[in-house]
Amino acid sequence: MGKITILFGGLLILLGAGVYAGLAAIEGETPSKTALIPAFFGLPIALLGVLALNDGYRKHAMHVVAVLALLGLIAPLSRLAMQVARGADVALLPMASMILMALLSGGLLALCVKSFIDARRRRTMSGGS
């Protein structure tokens, strides 16, 4: 699961950097640092994925990853919902970024939960608690 976590972290970093660069190209000026939010989530997720490659740290690292993935799912969806409720006009690139961040985070969270369930089943079947 560590390698998958590194992949998802890398994708989030690429998403943040890509949106930041895209907005810079479109606007012709330095975009807001909020365009990098997916990268700010992706970096610790990727680092925790590297940590999870070590058997001794895997359980704790992956639980922190699950929390970050949950926050990475809730944050962009709540921001989109607030903007829609206000009737604000959301530009295409930031909206796509928020949707992609939510999809990546939600996918990672689902994989984490599945991994936790599978680990629990393996422990139960081997006689552990």
Is the pTM here over 0.75, yes or no? yes
Give the SS3 label for residue 7: helix
| Both tokens assigned to 72 | 């990475």
Give tens-digit pLDDT for 5-52. Answer: 999 999 999 999 999 999 999 888 888 899 999 999 999 999 999 999
Residue 128 has pLDDT above 70, yes or no: no
| pLDDT band, residue 129 (cuts 50/70/90) | low
| CA distances, 99 to each of 90, 93, 112, 117 (Å) | 12, 10, 20, 27
d(C-alpha 73, C-alpha 41), whole Å = 11
Query: Is the Cα torsion angle 67, 72, 76, 79 positive or negative in sign?
Result: positive
Return the number of other C-beta atoms located less than 10 Å from residue 122's C-beta: 10
